[in-house]
């Protein structure tokens, strides 16, 4: 990555929200993430934060993350590039 690309990635990361896992309709969030790249990134960041904090993931998010890691779930950015 060039310096400019790294800078743009950092700016984009700061613009994204990190989801607070309380009272979230995970099914709705996952459905939205299928077409919304920002929502997809939010879900990944939520999973990352909980894993780093050793906080158990919600079961729905645990399965979603496993499906993503197994290649069953694709980023909407990837799907739009095909």
pLDDT band, residue 39 (cuts 50/70/90): very high
DSSP 21-76: -TT--HHHHHHHHTT-HHHHHHHHHHHHHHHHTTPPPPHHHHHHHHHHHTTSS--H
Domain assignments of the chain as residue spans, ordered by start: 3-81
pTM for the model? 0.71
The pLDDT tens digits of the residues spanning 46-78 come to 999 889 889 999 999 999 999 999 999 999 986
| 18: pLDDT strictly greater than 70 | no
Mean pLDDT of 24-49: 93
């Amino acid at each position: 990555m060039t310096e400019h690309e790294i800078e743009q990635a950092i700016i984009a990361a700061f613009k994204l929200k990190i989801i607070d896992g309380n009272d979230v309709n995970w099914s709705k969030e996952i459905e939205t993430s299928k077409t919304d790249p920002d929502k997809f990134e939010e879900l990944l960041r939520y999973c990352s934060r909980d894993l780093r904090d050793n906080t158990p993931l919600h079961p729905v998010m645990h399965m979603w993350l496993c499906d993503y890691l197994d290649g069953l779930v694709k980023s909407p950015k990837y799907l739009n590039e095909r």
